[in-house]
Amino acid sequence: MNEFLDWFVRTLASAYVVYTLVGVGNAIIERSGVLNLGIDGLFMLSASLAYTYAIQMSSLIQTGFLAVGISLLLTAATTALLYSLFMVLNTVLPISQGAIGLSFMFVGYGLAAIVGNIGRLIFSLQRVRIEYISITHVGAVFIYLTTILAVLLAYLLLYKYKLGVLIRAVGEDPRLVSQIGVNVTYVRLLSGLLGGAFIGLGGALFTLWRVGGWSQGQGLNHGWLAYAVSIAGWRFPPLVALVSIFFSAAYVLLPHFQSLGMPIEVSTAAPYITSIVLMVVVSTLHRKSRLLADPKSLGRSFYREEQV
């Protein structure tokens, strides 16, 4: 029993937390009408940032637990800042959101490799030990509860508070909202900060909890998997959290079918096939409900031409 619990927390629960947090973050960003195509690059970057921060912090602070906690927060803050830049560029300039998204993706990939290697360099000089989050920590339970709380908060924020209503309104029709005197750039900046913090936290937990280390190319494609979870959950936080259960179960359990004679190539491709099928099936279901529909101006460029 204890062994099972150990396995459960190490693989399934950590996958669940990562995909849920990133999925919800993506929901907050895309609800404001900006197509979040930089997600994979920025996720990968945050996974590398967490490693480097954790090494730097562990050499500064003797309490390993505290160092990891601080680096989680630092990663979330850095990713939030990057996302706010992303949102502002997408809002104030008359450019294709796809173009900016893809550019951010590539820059994210490249920076991730460099940032992670800097962490490795510091490690080779100072030989510090990172206290990775593990089952023996109270941290595991704490993170789990915090995730559920965060999903709840995201839901309340998006659907019960004025800021959330504004975010969703901007996602529907930014021109109309700006005509009644709301600063669209500001609203999208805030949603970028919030969503970016979620994504950064997810990326940091990916490195510091799920994997427990860093290697070249770590986190590649996991951003897209979380993106699939987010779309399959209709960009609605509670549903994203629900879909994430099935997805991470499928993701963690499918490789185990190898012992039953499934070829390794099939189990490698399985998560990708699962996420495509999940996205397609789910998006054909929700044509009717207004609450769950796609934001109307998603992916359309918004800028106000000013008369001088």
Partner 1 sequence: MVKISLVITKRYKRTIIESTPVILMGSLLTGLVMSYLIIWATVGLDPLSFFTTFYQTLVSYTGLLESLLFLTILGTAISIAFYGSYWNVGAEGQYVLGMLGAIYVVMFSPLSGFLSGNDLVSAAVLKLAAILLGGALGALWSLIPGLIKVFTKISEIPIMLLMNYIAYSLSDYLTAGPWKGRYTYGYIRTDMISESARLTVIPGLETLRYEVVIAAIVVLVSIYLILDHTLLGLKIKFLGTNPTALKSSGFDERKVTVSVATISGFIAGLAGAMRLLGYDYRLPYNIGDGKTGFYGYTAILVAWLSFRDIRFIVPSAIIVSALSSFGYRIQMSLKGLLPPGISAYAFSQIFIGTTLIVYTLTRITKEFSVKLVIRR
Shortest distance in whole angstroms from residue 186 CB to partner 1:
13
Give the 3-state secondary structure of residue 295: coil
By beta-carbon proximity to partner 1, the closer residue of 196 and 295 is 295
Shortest distance in whole angstroms from residue 143 CB to partner 1:
27
By beta-carbon proximity to partner 1, the closer residue of 9 and 262 is 262
Report in angstroms the alpha-carbon separations of 71 from 21, 64, 207, 250.
17, 11, 11, 30
By beta-carbon proximity to partner 1, the closer residue of 66 and 93 is 93
Shortest distance in whole angstroms from residue 256 CB to partner 1:
17
Residue 153 CA to its chain's centroid (Å)? 16
By beta-carbon proximity to partner 1, the closer residue of 31 and 140 is 31
By beta-carbon proximity to partner 1, the closer residue of 66 and 121 is 121
Shortest distance in whole angstroms from residue 69 CB to partner 1:
26
Q: What tokens does 103 get?
A: 């550019």
Report yes or no: 248 and 12 within 8 Å, Cβ to Cβ. yes
Report in angstroms the alpha-carbon separations of 154 from 123, 175, 282.
36, 25, 21
Q: Specify the amino acid at residue 294.
A: D
Shortest distance in whole angstroms from residue 4 CB to partner 1:
30
By beta-carbon proximity to partner 1, the closer residue of 2 and 284 is 284
Report in angstroms the alpha-carbon separations of 194 from 25, 31, 36, 154, 208.
7, 12, 14, 9, 21
The span from the CA of 191 to the CA of 84, in Å, is 8
Residues of this chain that bind partner 1 (CB under 8 A): 35, 37, 40-41, 89, 92-96, 98-111, 113-118, 120-121, 216, 221, 224, 227-228, 231, 263, 265-266, 268-269, 272-273, 275-276, 279-280, 283-284, 294, 299, 303, 305-308
Shortest distance in whole angstroms from residue 129 CB to partner 1:
20
Residue 281 CB: number of other CB atoms within 10 A? 10
